[in-house]
């Protein structure tokens, strides 16, 4: 946990922002995989971690702003439980660390909320994503699970987003500690990949590295020679000479701050000419995007100018044609880059996505585009010092999408479909870094990881 004052101050600001009413937090429970005692690894809810810091299942917490009370609900493990789990610190121990004076048994929460409902007091809660917690709302507030998220508190969401969007020095340190292991994972993957082995052999080695450092992956790794499948969950291909691999993998720090890095490299250690050309277009666009990051800059503008940069590069290779800016305004580039430039990152890899992406990445005046491609941009709003975000452009050749657009004659004035046939089996590439916005500009977080053609070839031609 951070120092006690961190949590006291975060809750203090939250109370000030919401002014009155009751603020309800449900922590996460252990979730069964195939029978009750065989559970998925525990992951605490990120807002619960942010405001209370306690990384244990089965907790809830409540702030009564008007009566100035903060209560943690949970139980101490029984002696019988500790026979199986070993001795555990008491709830009082955690209360002290979180700066709390009051704790109560879980069933007291229902009673507290019943009193509040009788007095028609405002009860603020956040959007829920775990079935176990959705079900609890039936007993706690009389709301059926499928209706819970219709009653969330928008002022609570906005207050949480306002605080969690600005990372403190200690939060940035956590992200950078996650990046240390992530960097090792990426270096290991480049060195160990070679023709004839399965993708999952490398994934296993990267997970093992995170595990042996006592930390977890921050999301399921994307590691595939089928990089054109954006969130490819499979690792079953045998890597072959001539393949390029996308490695999109990150780990969590001990306090659960994420990292999210993507590198693309040739399995055999040497890019083909075609791969090198596309890689260079992408790398230049990614470097330029990072350069453009500064407070006061709209991230949507950075997204659009990066897409134009990619379109210009693809035009120079004969894959696109016509006026580059017109092509991007029309959305033609999205055949090659159908996703957004990046997202906020913090306690979640897509930070606060559970609260609603539009609260995190958009404002009342900067609204989400409906155009395919730009519609998937997760972060569009004006950047502020303290934001940590990803910069992750990609170039993909997605056969299904190419065939559909070609059959529809879509954007024929901007796309050379005949030329694309030469790239049909290219796959996809993505390059991603994690960037802190600060007063004077930006800083790429973590130790630099091989990124130029020469650096990537030098590492991936080694055989660890």
Instruction: Calculate helix-pair angle for 169-192, 199-212, nearest 10 degrees.
Output: 140
Cβ closest to ligand GLY, residue 64 vs residue 248? 248
List the one residue from 171, 260, 433, 457 that touches Mn ion (CB under 5 A).
260
Q: Give residues in contact with ligand GLY (CB under 6 A).
A: 219, 248, 260, 349
Beta carbon of residue 302, minimum distance to Mn ion (angstroms, whole number):
15
Cβ closest to ligand GLY, residue 45 vs residue 248? 248
CB burial readout 175-195, b (16+ within 10 A) else e = bbbbbebbbbbbbbbbbbbbe
| Binding partner selected for residue 45 from ligand GLY, Mn ion, none, CB under the kind-specific 5 to 8 Å limit | none
| Binding partner selected for residue 2 from Mn ion, ligand GLY, none, CB under the kind-specific 5 to 8 Å limit | none
Cβ closest to ligand GLY, residue 199 vs residue 260? 260
Considering only residues 376-405, where is the footprint of Mn ion by CB under 5 A? Answer: 390
Residues 6+ away with beta carbon under 8 Å from 433: 261, 286, 290, 390, 391, 392, 444, 445
Cβ closest to Mn ion, residue 11 vs residue 350? 350
Beta carbon of residue 232, minimum distance to ligand GLY (angstroms, whole number):
11
d(C-alpha 117, C-alpha 441), whole Å: 48
For strands 38-39 and 32-35, give the pairing.
Answer: antiparallel
Whether 457 and 273 have beta carbons less than 8 Å apart is answered as: no
CA 90, 93, 97, 99 torsion-angle sign = positive
Q: Which of 405, 392, 280 is nearest to 334 (CA)?
A: 405
DSSP for 379-435, written as a single string: --SB--TT-EEEE--EEE--HHHHHHHHHHTTTTTTB-HHHHGGGTT--EEE-BEEE
Beta carbon of residue 296, minimum distance to ligand GLY (angstroms, whole number):
25
d(C-alpha 128, C-alpha 228), whole Å: 32
H or E segment to which residue 228 belongs = none
Beta carbon of residue 390, minimum distance to Mn ion (angstroms, whole number):
4
d(C-alpha 202, C-alpha 240), whole Å: 14
| Binding partner selected for residue 64 from Mn ion, ligand GLY, none, CB under the kind-specific 5 to 8 Å limit | none
Q: Which of 87, 139, 138 is nearest to 111 (CA)?
A: 139
Beta carbon of residue 82, minimum distance to ligand GLY (angstroms, whole number):
38
Cβ closest to Mn ion, residue 112 vs residue 392? 392
Beta carbon of residue 180, minimum distance to Mn ion (angstroms, whole number):
18
The CA–CA distances, whole Å, from 114 to 118, 138, 143 equal: 6, 12, 13
Q: Does 199 bind Mn ion (CB under 5 A)?
A: no
Q: Does 232 bind Mn ion (CB under 5 A)?
A: no
Q: Does 183 bind Mn ion (CB under 5 A)?
A: no
Considering only residues 101-130, where is the footprint of Mn ion by CB under 5 A? Answer: none
Beta carbon of residue 198, minimum distance to Mn ion (angstroms, whole number):
24
| Binding partner selected for residue 109 from Mn ion, ligand GLY, none, CB under the kind-specific 5 to 8 Å limit | none
Beta carbon of residue 443, minimum distance to ligand GLY (angstroms, whole number):
20
Cβ closest to ligand GLY, residue 70 vs residue 248? 248
Cβ closest to ligand GLY, residue 327 vs residue 383? 383
d(C-alpha 18, C-alpha 6), whole Å: 19
| Binding partner selected for residue 219 from Mn ion, ligand GLY, none, CB under the kind-specific 5 to 8 Å limit | ligand GLY
Number of residues in contact with Mn ion under rule CB under 5 A:
2
Cβ closest to ligand GLY, residue 320 vs residue 380? 380
| Binding partner selected for residue 417 from ligand GLY, Mn ion, none, CB under the kind-specific 5 to 8 Å limit | none
d(C-alpha 463, C-alpha 324), whole Å: 41
Binding site for Mn ion (CB under 5 A): 260, 390
């Amino acid at each position: 946990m951070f120092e006690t004052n961190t949590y006291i101050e975060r809750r203090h600001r939250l109370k000030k922002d919401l002014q009155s009413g009751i603020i309800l937090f449900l922590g996460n429970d252990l979730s069964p995989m195939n029978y009750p005692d065989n559970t998925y690894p525990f992951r605490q809810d990120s807002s619960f971690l942010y405001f209370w810091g306690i990384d244990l299942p089965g907790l809830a917490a409540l702030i009564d702003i008007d009566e100035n009370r903060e209560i943690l609900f949970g139980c101490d493990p029984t002696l019988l439980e500790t026979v199986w789990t070993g001795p555990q610190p008491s709830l009082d121990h955690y209360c002290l660390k979180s700066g709390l004076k009051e704790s109560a048994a879980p069933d007291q929460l229902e009673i507290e909320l019943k009193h509040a409902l009788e007095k028609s007091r405002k009860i603020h809660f956040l959007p829920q994503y775990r079935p176990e917690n959705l079900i609890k709302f039936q007993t706690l507030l009389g709301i059926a699970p499928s209706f819970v998220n219709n009653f969330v508190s928008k002022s609570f969401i906005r207050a949480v987003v306002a605080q969690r969007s600005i990372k403190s020095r200690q939060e940035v340190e956590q992200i950078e500690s996650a990046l240390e292991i992530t960097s090792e994972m990426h270096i290991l993957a480049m060195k160990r990949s070679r023709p004839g082995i399965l993708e999952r052999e490398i994934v296993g080695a990267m997970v093992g590295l995170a595990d042996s450092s006592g930390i977890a992956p921050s999301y399921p790794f994307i590691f595939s020679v089928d990089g054109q499948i954006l969130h490819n969950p499979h690792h079953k291909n045998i890597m072959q000479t001539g393949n390029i691999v996308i490695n999109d993998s990150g780990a969590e720090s001990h306090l659960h701050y994420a990292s999210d890095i993507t590198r693309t490299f040739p399995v055999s250690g040497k890019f083909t000419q075609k791969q090198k050309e596309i890689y260079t277009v992408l790398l230049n666009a990614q470097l330029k995007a990072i350069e453009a990051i500064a407070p006061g800059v709209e991230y949507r503008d950075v997204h659009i100018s990066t897409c134009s940069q990619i379109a210009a590069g693809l035009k120079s290779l004969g894959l696109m044609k016509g006026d580059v800016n017109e092509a991007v305004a029309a959305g033609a580039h999205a055949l090659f880059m159908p996703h957004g430039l990046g997202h906020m990152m913090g306690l979640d890899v897509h930070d606060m996505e559970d609260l609603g992406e539009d609260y995190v990445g958009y404002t009342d005046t900067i609204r989400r585009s409906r155009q395919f491609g730009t519609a998937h941009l997760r972060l569009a709003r004006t950047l502020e010092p303290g934001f940590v975000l990803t910069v992750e452009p990609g170039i993909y050749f997605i056969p299904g999408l190419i065939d559909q657009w070609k059959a529809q004659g879509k954007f024929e004035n901007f796309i050379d479909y005949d030329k694309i046939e030469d790239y049909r089996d290219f796959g996809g590439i993505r390059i991603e870094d994690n960037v802190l916005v600060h007063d004077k500009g930006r800083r790429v977080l973590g130790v630099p990881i091989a990124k130029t053609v020469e650096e990537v070839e030098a590492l991936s031609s080694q055989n660890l």
